[in-house]
Amino acid sequence: MSPTGLPFAPEDLIAVASEAAAWAWSEGMTVLRPDGRVVPIPLLAEPEVWPRAALARLAAEARAILSGSVKLARALLQHGDARDREMLLGPFEGLEAEAMARLFVEAPEPVLLARVDFLLPAGASEPRALELNTTIPAMQAYADLAAHGWLRAAARRRGLTVRQTGTLLAEAGSHMEELRRTLVAFYQRRGGVRERPSVALVARPGDSQRAEQQRLAAHFRQMGHQAVNLVPAECEPERFDLLYRHVWAHNVPPEAPFARALRAPGRFPLVNPVNGMLEAKALFARLSECAEDARLADLAGLDLAERAASGRLPWTRRLEADLLPRLLEDRAPWVLKRSWDYGGKSIQLGAEMEPGDWKSAVLAALADRRGGGFVVQERIFAARRPATRITMDGPSAGELYRDISTYTGLGEIAPTGSVVRAASSPVVNILGGGGLAPLVSEETLAHLR
């Protein structure tokens, strides 16, 4: 989608975005560097504009991908072969493995919150899903700060009253509030009776998204909850009605009090339980296979919506020797990814590599079974679009790729909003020459005109 119909001249748009960025940074749209520096996340001046109907389709697609993945993981653990079990459980050890062994045995809900990352192919109208995140489906506060900051500044520029601006923001919605409502509904499904349960937001020391976690806690407190930011060594899980986990299990010391909650998801109201297997790229590959393998789809018990969603995934498979001729004949359409990895660290794009380097990378990946091995995925070629990044040094114009990541869950009350990241590289990184774009619906934008 493109930000057409904006009611601003170019110089006014820069002024709006600059004001929005300053407000968003002051409210927590920053990251913490390992050296202790707090770095503002750049904001794009041009918002991402989508009709609400298209955003609703993305939310439905994300939910079908999530529910299909959960069903398939259950089925493969019970009825799959040794390779299936290895790809789901092999990458994990220690506390993480211990906790995940209880996922489908004790946890009342194996995943409450998730995020599906989509990319819009150049010249297409519908995005394609690239992967599923179930451990730390973050950026709810960042998404609100980007969108609300832009809308506040845009409303001010257009001369809207305080009341009109409030109506505009209410219509835009809040990812933080959707998260809060989802957590409270989970607590009440487990028998909780408090209208405003207490919440511990748990992250590792020095977490890069510390400011976002603090902003979430502030929102919960504003809505009447006791909410605190803690690290695993400080969190005694028995003291809280809800535990919001923003930390990988392998970053939790086994002796830390919070580890008690990871080991007993049936006893503690933990969101999410340790479920890293659900975001393994190899599971995503098996879900993609369901589009062509009816027996596998039947084994998982996929419904019509889940089968249809599997057919819209980019063609993804576990890397096997019989794929070598296809991959080496034409490298441009393919992407290599380690099954268990995050942050895009292991991604290799055939089109960006020399033939000899691509061949070496494929052969090395085929022999490397760490982290569940590698998958190969059809590459979705997105278009670079003009964009103006607002940084502490001022505006800078260029061309960036954008993705759109949509929140979802399996409960009756579940988040549905999206966040848009931008980057100079096809592998999206919001700090490496990229940033966040305000996501605004066409209907909300119409009120600014």
Q: Give the pLDDT confidence of 22-47 residue by residue, as tens digits.
A: 999 999 999 999 999 999 999 999 99
Q: Are the CB atoms for 182 and 416 separated by under 8 Å?
A: no
Is residue 84, in this structure, part of any structural domain at all?
yes
Per-residue pLDDT at 124 exceeds 60: yes
Q: State the residue range of the domain holding 72.
A: 10-280+383-448
| 255-260-265-270 Cα dihedral, nearest 10 degrees | -90
Total of domains in the chain: 1
Vertex 353 angle, CA 338 and 132, to 5°: 30
Residues pairing with 87 in the sheet: none
Domain presence at residue 294: no
Please state the pTM of the whole predicted model.
Answer: 0.95
Instruction: Say if 16 falls within a structural domain.
Output: yes
* Any domain includes 332: no
Query: Omega of the bond prior to 275 within 30 degrees of 0, cis?
Result: no
Is residue 361 within 8 Å of 337, Cβ to Cβ? no
pLDDT at 329: 95
Q: What is the pLDDT of residues 4-18, one digit of tens each?
A: 578 899 999 999 999
The residue-averaged pLDDT of 379-402 equals 94
Instruction: Give domain status of residue 123, yes or no.
Output: yes
Specify the pLDDT at position 425. Answer: 82
What is the spatial distance between Cα 165 and Cα 156, in angstroms, rounded to a whole number?
Answer: 8
Provide the pLDDT for residue 431: 62
What residues have CB less than 8 Å from 364, skipping those under 6 apart? none
Ranges of H-type helices in 106-200: 140-158, 162-172, 175-189
- Establish if 295 belongs to a structural domain: no
User: 402 pairs with which residues across the strands?
Assistant: 422
The Cα–Cα gap between 40 and 30 comes to 4
- Residue 317 domain flag: no
Residue with tokens 């993609």: 288
Task: Report residue 2's pLDDT band, with 50, 70 and 90 as the boundaries.
Answer: very low
- Sign of the alpha-carbon dihedral angle for 87, 90, 96, 101: positive
Measuring CA to CA, how many Å separate 185 from each of 21, 110, 196, 266?
A: 33, 15, 11, 16
Q: What is the mean pLDDT of the chain?
A: 94
Q: Residue 177 has what pLDDT?
A: 98
| H helix runs in 80-139, sequence order | 82-89, 94-100
Quick one: which of 250, 230, 252, 251 has its CA closest to 240? Answer: 230
Gap between the Cα atoms of 128 and 304, Å rounded: 18
Q: Strand, helix or coil at 363?
A: helix
pLDDT exceeds 80 at position 189: yes
Q: DSSP secondary-structure letter at 7?
A: S
What pLDDT does residue 429 have? 67
Whole-number percent of the chain with pLDDT over 70: 98
Mean pLDDT of all residues in 116-127: 91
Give the pair of three-digit tokens for residue 341.
């990895």
In a domain, 132, yes or no: yes
Element (H, E) at 361: helix 355-367
Q: What is the mean pLDDT of residues 296-323?
A: 97
Percent of the chain with pLDDT over 90: 90
Q: Strand, helix or coil at 298? A: helix
